[in-house]
């Protein structure tokens, strides 16, 4: 299937993953309609810089980038964009992010991640969208401790409201796939990092603190493992998934249901590196790049956090013939290069 000249709507376009996806789509001469509410959860100037960068990127292409500042909760505004621009595919990346923030402001997650996502689903149904891809999260695995984490596993025990909202998104999408034959693909991202990243993520916090000679808080006394996934691998996976619509699984067994698939046109995929790294090794790689030691403050585990993540990406590889594989050595180096240039360090 050729995506050339198709219009693609990306919500969360000024966000970390949304920005990189829009950039890739623009480079490949696709018309992109971006939506973002530009909230102040983190530095709004970084979001503005991302948008400025995207607008400049269109100068040397035949693509168009059209941006709207709106909340997904505003159903009238969302419907107006769908009606006016007629996107054929939608990638919903807009959400209130962050596990720890969900402990402080749970209502933000209900409004953005539940009400907002329902408005997207309704628009996709009413305007006959060909394929909806939506961001889920590795957080949905919650209290699961069997590694690697597989889409075939039960995920009914979330340990944060953020995770619960993402699990709810998966359930909502499936119901629309079943009721309205809307092809939907859920994306369980595993600890995404890279240039232009979010300031509330570990790599950003650690880099900033080390450069400023400030201590970094290392949770669970450093006894944590994460499946860090580089942003370019995330975008490559998304581009390939956009092209491949989920089909009804005619072999689905309702007596022994497989959570990763369905009789409806619905799929769920882990997108991770499948090469988990000890948090202290990750910090050591940051130190190597900065040529500076971190001042470490070992603290207890935060509520809502999990000790270990590791993605089983077998289903993703089988579906799109691609496996995220960028090493933290390369990924951290690229982030720090960007960080020093952007902040003029």
Contact (CB, 8 A) for 325 and 273: yes
Q: Where are the beta strands (DSSP E) in the chain?
A: 7-11, 31-36, 65-69, 89-92, 131-137, 184-189, 192-193, 215-218, 225-226, 229-230, 266-271, 277-278, 295-298
The rounded radius of gyration (Å) of the Cα atoms in the chain is: 19
Closest of 313, 244, 290, 291 to residue 2, by C-alpha: 244
**Given 141, 162, 193, 230, the catalytic residue:** 162
Three-state DSSP class for 8?
strand
> Nearest Cα to 185, choosing from 225, 142, 238?
238
Burial of 322 (0-12, 13-18, 19+ CB in 10 A): middle
d(CA 100, CA 293): 26
* Structure-token match 């970084």, residue found: 46
Cα–Cα dist 209/199, whole Å: 11
Strand partners, 65: 32
Query: φ and ψ at 187, to 5 degrees?
Result: -120, 105
162 is catalytic: yes
Residues marked as catalytic:
162
């Amino acid at each position: 299937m050729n995506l050339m000249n198709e219009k693609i709507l990306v919500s969360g376009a000024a966000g970390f993953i949304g920005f990189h996806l829009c950039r890739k789509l623009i480079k490949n001469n696709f018309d992109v309609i971006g939506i973002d509410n530009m909230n102040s959860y983190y530095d709004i100037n970084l979001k503005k810089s991302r948008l400025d960068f995207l607008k400049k990127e269109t100068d040397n292409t035949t693509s168009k980038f059209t941006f709207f500042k709106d909340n997904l909760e505003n159903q009238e505004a969302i419907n107006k964009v769908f009606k006016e621009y007629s996107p054929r595919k939608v990638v919903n990346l807009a959400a209130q992010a962050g596990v720890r923030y969900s402990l402080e402001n749970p209502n933000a997650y209900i409004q953005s991640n539940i009400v907002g996502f329902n408005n997207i689903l309704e628009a996709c149904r009413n305007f006959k969208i060909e394929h909806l891809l939506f961001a889920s999260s590795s957080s949905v695995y919650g209290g699961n401790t069997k590694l690697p984490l597989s889409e075939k596993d039960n995920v009914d025990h979330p340990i944060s409201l953020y995770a619960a909202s993402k699990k709810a998104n998966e359930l909502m999408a499936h119901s629309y796939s079943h009721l309205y034959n809307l092809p939907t693909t859920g994306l369980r991202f595993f600890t995404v990092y890279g240039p232009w990243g979010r300031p509330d993520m570990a790599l950003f916090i650690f880099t900033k603190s080390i450069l400023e000679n400030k201590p970094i808080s290392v949770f669970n006394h450093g006894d944590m493992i994460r499946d860090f996934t580089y942003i370019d691998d995330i975008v490559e996976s998304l581009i390939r998934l956009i092209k491949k619509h989920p089909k009804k699984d005619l072999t689905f067994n309702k007596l022994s249901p497989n959570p990763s698939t369905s009789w409806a046109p619905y799929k769920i995929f882990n997108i991770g590196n499948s090469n988990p790294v000890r948090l202290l090794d990750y910090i050591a790689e940051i130190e190597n790049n900065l040529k500076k030691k971190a001042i470490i403050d070992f603290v207890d585990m935060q509520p809502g956090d999990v000790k270990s993540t590791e993605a089983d990406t077998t289903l993703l590889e089988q579906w799109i013939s691609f496996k995220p594989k960028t090493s933290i050595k390369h990924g951290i180096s690229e982030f720090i290069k960007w960080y020093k240039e952007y902040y003029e360090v």
